[in-house]
Amino acid sequence: MPDYPADSILVLLETSSTGELVSSAPGLLGAASLIGTPIALAVIAPGQAQALAEQAAASGAERVLAVDTNSTQSQLTIPYVDAVVAAAAAIAPAAVLVSNSIDGRDIAGRFAARTGAAIAVDAVGVSRDDEGIVAHHSVYGGAYNVDSAATFGPLVVTVRQGAIEARAAARPVALEQLEAQASGAASATIDSVEAVAETSSRPELRGATRVVSGGRGLGSAEKFALVEDLADALGAAIGASRAAVDAGYIPANHQVGQTGVSVSPQLYIALGISGAIQHRAGMQSAKNIVAVNKDPDAPIFEVADFGVVGDVFTVVPQLISELAERKR
Amino acid sequence: MKIIVLVKEVPDTYTERKLDLETGLADRAASEAVLDEISERALEVALSFADSNDAEIVVLSMAPESAAATIRKALAMGASSAVHVADPAVAGADLGLTARILAAAIRRTGFDLVITGNLSTDGNGGVLPAMLAELLDVPNATALSSVKFTADAVSGTRNTDDSTMRISAKLPAVISITEALPAGRFPNFKGIMAAKKKPFETLSLADLGIEPNDFSVAMSIMTAIAEKPLRTAGVKITDQGDGGTKIAEYLIENRLV
């Protein structure tokens, strides 16, 4: 058994349904590098570990432990939990970092419950003080900052996707195989998986550095194209208010807000969005907010750094042509 | 089939929500308390199954005593009975303790299926369904956007960030549902009257054999809390025919393009 550093931080690598490292991984490894030595765990089909280890090392993994298994394709959650249990037993980490994704939450929750470890969810940052690892949270839609820590033992942390800006320097690839004993815990069965077809080359909403969102003010699904035009001019991801989703202008996976995706981009442009508190809860941690709305009293202006009271259908085309002008 | 639906009282998101800066606990007096919308949807999944099948629906909640009226709304919507874990010692419980308390209450009640919302609107944690499944030693089938029941199993569609899965789990199981499922039905007058006569059990931690201050168990504790300075409004102009140009200038000035 190789020795592991005393400040090891276990990072669970999440892969897409096609076996690629997902976009949240560099942020997780970056977060781990701030508080210790990132040791990555890959739970992956036999033969794929090398490629994944190379990607993880490029993002700062000091070592990569690989659990070869095909069971993740047929069993939900449990094979990952069994692998994290084996890895944690091997390296005795100070913290276990998992993406706050749908799968990540399940894995972290079951792991914490099984091992009796303290769990901190939806962290937007991590740090280390004299007594150990501290998780930072932004709660009630960003109205409060809260820190949490474990009374003892490793802290299991689910990290909000896109919240960590830190990136770790690339490391040489160091891949080790790890045997994970199957717990035999009852699991749900995965009967079929369909990758959600990426319909565009636009950036993913979660973790995007720029987001252009549209609301009910766009008026129809056809006119929502204006939001897409501005997003493309800026290389931004597309978001929407719940009103726009409910009205059928755009699919629900673009919904920003309390019940949708929380985003913290460098730039957030809200078009025809009134700014209900549920929407603001998902975007007001953006660094710069620009809003265009006909209604001068729209609450979105209360959080906007730059607001224009006007018609999106005249203001936005002008903005797009200005941007095009600048590019020339 | 015996179905337990987890319901949660949360501060209404339409009002201002506050945390007490001394204790770090939710300031329950600061905003109106409501039954979480996702809890109502979880209950609706159970109720619509019970509309055409034989099912007993128990709603379970861990909340201060003051939440009893909110829990009663779930009875008025059509649940058969309620179990309310109300104990002053649970204030500030971390996720680990919360999961142990709820798992103990679920075991005590007995179940074929536990239904929860995928994420509460206040805590936004989303890990409890999996924690409960682990403690109860049953499968977790989470984030379901459709649910189908068979005699001894539950199945559904699960949308993750990059895929759509069909999953199934043998009962007993814990499932969580997303807001893609229908909103809860409105309680009618008959339901509200009937709710008053339905069994409503209030439990303490002693009833469940749980010691809340067991320091041999690792806990997550809040170490600091601060109110974020409110985001202040910046510049607001009225479009005089140059609104788009002005935004472009702002973006360039702030190096955002």
The answer to whether A157 and A128 have CB atoms below 8 angstroms apart is: no
Find all residues with CB under 8 Å of B216, minimum gap 6, and list them.
none
Has residue B147 got a pLDDT over 80?
yes
Least confident range of A56-65, A189-198, B53-62, B244-253: A189-198
Closest residue, chain B, to A327 (C-alpha): B257
- Which residues numbered 31-90 in B keep a CB inside 8 Å of some CB on A? none
List chain B residues with CB under 8 Å of A117: 96, 218
Which runs of consecutive H residues, i.e. helices, occur in B19-90? 37-52, 68-77
B220's enclosing H/E stretch is: strand B220-227
Check CB contact under 8 Å for B224 and A146: yes
pLDDT exceeds cutoff 90 at B1 = yes
Q: Looking at this predicted complex, what is its ipTM?
A: 0.91
Distances (CA, A) of B211 to A151, A230, B205: 16, 57, 7
| Alpha-helical segments (H) within chain B | 37-52, 68-77, 95-109, 128-136, 189-195, 205-208, 243-253
Whether residues A105 and B130 touch (CB distance < 8 A) is answered with yes
The model's pLDDT over A200-238, given as tens digits with 9 standing for 90+, comes to 678 888 878 899 999 999 999 999 999 999 999 999 999
Residues in chain A with CB shorter than 8 Å from the CB of B236 are 296, 301, 304, 307-309
pLDDT (tens digit per residue) in B194-220: 999 999 999 999 999 999 989 999 999
Q: Is B234 on the interface with A (CB under 8 A)?
A: yes
Closest to A24 (Cα-Cα) out of A135, A99, A96: A99
Q: What is the pLDDT of residue A197?
A: 62
pLDDT at position A276 is 87
Structure token digits, residue A158: 């689910």
- Taking contacts as CB-CB distances below 8 angstroms, the residues of chain A near B19 are 139-140, 144, 146
Closest to B162 (Cα-Cα) out of A273, A17, A309 = A17
With CA atoms as reference, the chain B residue closest to A24 would be: B161
- Residue A207 vs residues A159, A210, B163: alpha-carbon distances, Å: 12, 9, 18
**What mean pLDDT is reported for chain B?**
92
Q: Which residue of B96, B122, B169 is in closest CB contact with A118?
A: B96
Contacts of B252 in chain A (CB under 8 A): 326
Asked, as a colleague might, if the bond just before A296 is cis with ω within 30 of 0, I would say no
Nearest alpha carbon to residue B3 among B66, B38, B53: B53
Beta bridge partner(s), residue B116: B176
The residue written with tokens 């949660």 in the block is B8
Q: State how far the Cα of A244 lies from the Cα of A215, in Å rounded to an integer.
A: 5
**Which pLDDT band holds residue B161 (cuts at 50, 70, 90)?**
confident
Q: Is B229 on the interface with A (CB under 8 A)?
A: no
Say yes or no: A183 contacts chain B, CB-CB below 8 A: no
Residue segments in chain A with a per-residue pLDDT below the cut of 50: none
Q: B125 CB near a chain A CB, below 8 Å?
A: yes
Please indicate if any CB of chain B lies within 8 Å of the CB of A149. Answer: yes
Cβ distance A134 to B223 less than 8 Å, yes or no, reads yes
Per-residue model confidence (pLDDT) at position A19: 77
Backbone angles phi, psi at A123, to 5 degrees: -75, 145
Backbone angles phi, psi at A74, to 5 degrees: -120, -20
Predicted confidence band of residue B156 (pLDDT cuts 50, 70, 90): very high
Note whether B134 contacts A110, CB cutoff 8 Å.
yes
Task: Give the span between the Cα atoms of A306 and B234, in whole angstroms.
Answer: 6
Which stretch of A105-119, B20-34, B102-116, B125-139 has the lowest confidence by average pLDDT?
B20-34
Looking at residue B104, its pLDDT comes to 98
Q: Does A184 touch chain B (CB under 8 A)?
A: no
Q: How close B131 gets to chain A, by Cα (Å)?
A: 5
